[in-house]
Amino acid sequence: MLDKPAPQSAVRASGPLAGFRIVEFAGIGPGPFACMMLADMGAEVITLDRVGAGKNLKGVSTRGRKVVELDLKDKTAVAQVLDLLANADALIEGFRPGVMERLGLGPDVVLARNPKLVYGRMTGWGQQGPLANAAGHDINYISITGALAAIGTKEKPVPPLNLVGDFGGGALYLVVGVLAALLEASRSGKGQVVDTAMCDGAASLMSMFFDLAANGRWVEGRDQNMLDGGAHFYGVYECACGHFISIGSIEPQFYALLRKHAGLSGAEFDAQMDRKAWPALKQKLTEIFKSKTREEWCKIMEGTDICFAPILTMAEAPKHPHMAAREVFVERHGVTQPAPAPRFSRTPSAIRDAVTADLGDVLSAWKARE
């Protein structure tokens, strides 16, 4: 029998990455988020930041680090960094292509000192290509992959926050790539460069939709497909109170429950997958869901196999009974924040505070443990 997953409130344990040493070159967006995940999982993450950066040590995405401020234009500091990297397992940087090379910290130099190092690179466009050196943000990276064109209302695309490019296509692919390279290095004794581009990851996330399109099950344009808001049984509806709920009754048995609990007895609802009928059926459901408050619909549908959930704000989400029971959110230093994920049964992750550190002290400690 598998061990029961440890609750988030469990006594702080080491995490599955305890003993791994990662050097992070401070940046914004996906790099810090990836390092937060690695730190939560037990890795010792040393963040190298510019002098006077004044890193928020109680921030959510900066948690779990030892933060060192230094001037990378100083040759003495760079020499110390190279010594540090000689004792590291992985490096993560998010500069534009060529910046690390100009600092004297490119892959060729670093891997010559430490052949087993995993060199994680995070950019929007990738290390090569016509746009490699251009500025960009999440919205741009998901624009050229086909992702943004498929998200939004019929009238126009709507940015899905910066979840798809920065964090989904960027940070999570960086974490997967670094962990895969660390696993391979443990066998081969050789490190490598992990070129993570947000446009690559966002395109990869679109795999299922390219598959659907190839099989004639996806049409161009928003609000016309089963998963983009076009279907009456998969979407968002406003309630009488002005709040919203979500429905995802795709499978026939789930759709039957939706019909039962929402009172959809009319014969027009029989042809669930008739695209031509979706707009009219969606309008009928719009009127039905506006007849009751969100709280009333929760009492009717929540916990059933309808595939239902209330749409909660960031302030409401931590208070939901399911979120509270699983301790999905925790409070630290007066800040409500997501707990570490995923969960491990034997070596649970834990949130650790960020602290300032001296590079010389860190280097000495790392050498002493060799």
Distance between CA 122 and CA 125 in Å, rounded? Answer: 9
Q: Of 89, 138, 166, 200, which one is the catalytic site residue? A: 166
Backbone angles phi, psi at 316, to 5 degrees: -80, -35
Q: Are 89 and 117 in contact (CB under 8 A)?
A: yes
Q: Of 83, 137, 195, 223, which one is the catalytic site residue? A: 137
Distance between CA 225 and CA 223 in Å, rounded? Answer: 6
At residue 186, what is the residue type?
S
Distance between CA 289 and CA 177 in Å, rounded? Answer: 44
Bridge-based pairing of strands 244-248 and 308-310 is antiparallel
Plot region of 239 (φ>0 → left; ψ -120 to 50 → alpha; else → beta): beta
Q: Are 114 and 193 in contact (CB under 8 A)?
A: no
At residue 313, what is the residue type?
T
137 a catalytic residue: yes
Distance between CA 71 and CA 49 in Å, rounded? Answer: 8
Number of H helices, E strands in the chain: 13, 12
| Contacts with 57 (C-beta within 8 Å, 6 or more apart), sequence order | 67, 353, 354, 355, 356
Place of tokens 């680090």: 65
Place of tokens 């895969």: 180
> Quick one: how far is CA 333 from the chain centroid?
23
Distance between CA 250 and CA 247 in Å, rounded? Answer: 9
Q: Which residues are catalytic?
A: 137, 166
